[in-house]
Structure 1
Amino acid sequence: MQEMGGTEGPAVELSGREKAYLYVRDQVLTSPAATGSFLNEQELATRVGVSRTPVREALLMLQAEGLVEMVPKRGAHVPAMSGRQIAELMELRGVLERHAASRALEEGRVPLEVMRSALAEQEAFATDPSAEAARAFIDWDGRFHQFLIDAAGSELLSRTYSGLRARQLRVGLTALFSAPDRQHRVCAEHQAIIDALEAGDESLVHEKINTHLEVTLQILLRA
């Protein structure tokens, strides 16, 4: 299945299971409102344009990833993320992003241009209070960080990070609605990361990444 980030090959026709998987992972499970709900297989099948069988297969794949729980006679349940799971997510992100930054600096391929472009897109949505703008803001947030990850030049690293997408979008949206003016603060934190990368200061880059993730973590733990 094609993931966000990494090297993209020729367009490939997706199977019904893959279409259902990507739709549920990237559209349904990223919403904070999905937490605690049960997913209706028939409704999902109608939305995706497939039968219920590939939807069930997709839900089983998502269960294996810990994104849903299959409850007998009830269907697929979307569990809330615990404080421990959120902390582990931020810790893993930190490990991957610091490593990618070090590799990018070492090999002279820091993606400053595309990271600046992603930040500019975020800033365009920062003052819009709508739910649609918040979703777009967080989507560009994911791209900002994925560009840095991809600069490490490791397909496995890019795929691993991309696999965190659903969780990151969900917690990102939660954080936006849990702290005043979080959008502008995120943009400032992203600018600090860009500035450190441009300066070529590895320790400072790590510090700015750590600060960004720690601020988000504390907001989520208070939410």
Structure 2
Amino acid sequence: MPSGRELAYAHLKDTVLSDPGMQGQFVNEQALADEIGVSRTPIREALLLLAAEELVQLVPKRGAYIAPVGGREIRELFEIRAMIECYAARRAVELGAVPLAEMRRELDAQRELGDEQAREFIDHDHRFHSALVGAVGNEMLSKTYDGLRARQVRAGVEALFRSDGRRKSVLAEHEAICSALAAGDPEAATAAITEHLNATRRVLQAG
């Protein structure tokens, strides 16, 4: 049974932080406590953990502030993702371990979602990319990549809200990545991954 702090932490990280409407807002601790069914103490404990991860800012006498996705955060997130995902593509091809069936399942699931299911769309997006990283078989690499999940989901959902055509573009970009991997062409795969990440970064930075 998860503790109150664990429940609060998971809810904040997976739901509140990824809500575009919460960017630039302060967390209402009491409303959140009522929603989850815990006291304010585990909410505050969870916020301290998130502050240590630099996912929220604790402002004296004001509370926890969710800053809008900023330029430095966007740049650094996509630089790290590019390094990890491009390496994973090359290594998976080299090992003959490309998880093509799993990646296509996530892509097919994305295609089935409606426009109002932005969060679900990005959850599948994360699993699409995570499957490739996991195929390398390097546990430390996978843990490092999974540590980016909250920021990746947050950025992905925000990009969908900022650009009406982003959903359709993501599907096409994922298809290009799959096609290159299916062909066993690491150069084409890394180029497709790079373009995919750059496209999302451009949407975010244009906002």
Does TM, normalized by the shorter one, top 0.5?
yes
Q: Which has the larger displacement, 202-211 or 95-104?
A: 95-104
1:141 aligns with 2:148: no
Rounded to whole Å, the distance in 2 between the matches of 1:106 and 1:157 is 17
Give the counterpart of 2:58 among 60, 67, 70: 70
Aligned length: 207
Quick one: percent identity of the two aligned structures? 51
Task: State the Cα distance separating 1:180 from its structure 2 match.
Answer: 3.3
Rounded to whole Å, the distance in 2 between the matches of 1:17 and 1:103 is 38
Q: Which has the larger displacement, 143-152 or 13-22?
A: 13-22
C-alpha RMSD of the superposition: 1.3
The one-letter amino acid paired with 2:146 is S
1:117 aligns with 2:105: yes
Task: Give the corresponding residue for 2:194.
Answer: 210
Correspondence 1:1-223 to 2 at 5 A: 13-125=1-113, 128-130=114-116, 133-223=117-207
Q: Which runs of 5+ in 1 are unaligned?
A: 1-12
Query: Normalized against structure 1, the TM-score is what?
Result: 0.88
SS in 1 for 2:64: strand
Task: State the Cα distance separating 1:138 from its structure 2 match.
Answer: 1.4
1:154-177 per-position Cα deviation (integer Å, ceiling 9, x unaligned): 222222222222221222122112
Q: Which runs of 5+ in 2 are unaligned?
A: none
SS in 1 for 2:162: coil
Rounded to whole Å, the distance in 1 between the matches of 2:8 and 2:119 is 20
1:46-65 per-position Cα deviation (integer Å, ceiling 9, x unaligned): 22222222211110010011
Rounded to whole Å, the distance in 2 between the matches of 1:82 and 1:14 is 32
Task: State the Cα distance separating 1:181 from its structure 2 match.
Answer: 2.0
The one-letter amino acid paired with 2:174 is H
Task: State the Cα distance separating 1:70 from its structure 2 match.
Answer: 0.7
Query: Normalized against structure 2, the TM-score is what?
Result: 0.94
The one-letter amino acid paired with 2:77 is L
The one-letter amino acid paired with 1:31 is D
Rounded to whole Å, the distance in 1 between the matches of 2:18 and 2:103 is 22
Task: State the Cα distance separating 1:149 from its structure 2 match.
Answer: 1.4
Rounded to whole Å, the distance in 2 between the matches of 1:187 and 1:64 is 34
The one-letter amino acid paired with 1:215 is A
Rounded to whole Å, the distance in 2 between the matches of 1:212 and 1:158 is 20
SS in 2 for 1:177: helix
The one-letter amino acid paired with 2:55 is L
- Structure 1 consecutive aligned stretches of length 4 or more whose deviation exceeds 3 Å: none
Rounded to whole Å, the distance in 1 between the matches of 2:107 and 2:197 is 16
